């Protein structure tokens, strides 16, 4: 049965985080299609990975037989994360915008899982795996908006996930999520609600479409 790798990175809990809420909708739809499937869930906020260090970097380029104790530990973590990606039939990532880019917890996962000559390079080991990114944001950074040039979530992840890891990347973007809590955005509430509704609909449709594709 198919395996879904699900990563959450929002510091906020379910019910208070748009990326978590939409990702949960995707996952429910996925599990409805694959009740006997496997879901590997990493909550990168609740259980953050350590930032990559010298041991983790050097271990990836050194002969494993000569690894120090620190390198062995660091390499084991990177190997585990790489295997989770390689074994997944689909990937789901909650990536809220924090200060114009992704949370540092998600960046830490990327730094570990990007292994040159394995998951990245001329023949990425997980190439072609579909990944759905829930890229929520408090405002709007869509083309034509005043802050279009401040969007570093989609622009970064499409290069890293698609360009380096060779994954098939698709984005679902719930925007204006702060409209109901920020008085200055009161006139955008209707647009925010419509964006949220569409994001949940898109998540359900995307999960079902992927399930049908994998079953074909």
Per-residue pLDDT of the chain (216 residues; tens, 9 = 90+): 899 999 999 999 999 999 999 999 999 999 999 999 999 999 999 999 999 999 999 999 989 999 999 999 999 999 999 999 999 999 999 999 999 999 999 999 999 999 999 999 999 999 999 999 999 999 999 999 999 999 999 999 999 999 999 999 999 999 999 999 999 999 999 999 999 999 999 999 999 999 999 887
> Alpha-carbon torsion 83, 27, 129, 107, what sign?
negative
- Dmax (CA) for the chain in angstroms is 62
The pLDDT, as a whole number, for residue 215 is: 84
Neighbour tally for 144: CB within 10 Å: 6
Per-residue pLDDT, 216: 77
CA 141 → CA 37, 148, 173, distances in Å? 36, 4, 10
Which pLDDT value is given to residue 1? 85
Token digits of residue 188: 């955008």
Provide DSSP, the chain. --EEEEEE--SSPBTTBHHHHHHHHHHHHHHHH-TT-EEEEEETTTSPPPPP-HHHHHHTTS-GGG--HHHHHHHHHHHHHHHHHHH-SEEEEE---BTTB--HHHHHHHHHH--BTTTBSSS-TTTT-EEEEE---SS---TTSTTGGG--SHHHHIIIIIIIT--EEEEE----TTTTT-GGGGGGHHHHHHHHHHHHHHHHHHHHHHHHHHH-
Overall pTM > 0.95: yes
């Amino acid at each position: 049965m198919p395996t879904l790798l699900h990563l959450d990175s929002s510091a906020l809990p379910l019910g208070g985080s748009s990326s978590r809420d939409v990702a949960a909708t995707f996952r429910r739809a996925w599990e409805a299609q694959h009740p006997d499937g496997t879901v590997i869930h990493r909550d990168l906020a609740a259980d953050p990975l350590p930032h990559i260090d010298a041991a983790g970097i050097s271990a990836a380029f050194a002969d494993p037989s000569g690894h120090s104790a620190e390198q062995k530990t660091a390499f084991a973590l990177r190997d585990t994360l790489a295997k989770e990606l390689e074994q997944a039939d689909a990937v789901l990532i909650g990536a809220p915008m924090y200060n114009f880019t992704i949370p540092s917890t998600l960046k830490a996962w990327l730094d570990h899982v990007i292994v040159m000559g394995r998951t990245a390079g001329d023949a990425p080991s997980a190439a072609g795996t579909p990944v759905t990114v829930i890229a929520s944001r408090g405002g709007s950074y869509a083309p034509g908006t005043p802050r279009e040039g401040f969007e570093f979530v989609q622009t970064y992840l499409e290069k890293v996930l698609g360009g380096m890891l060779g994954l098939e990347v698709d984005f679902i973007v719930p925007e204006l999520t702060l409209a109901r809590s920020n008085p200055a955005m009161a006139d955008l509430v209707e647009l925010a609600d419509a964006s949220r509704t569409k994001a949940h609909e898109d998540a359900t449709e995307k999960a079902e479409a992927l399930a049908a594709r994998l079953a074909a």
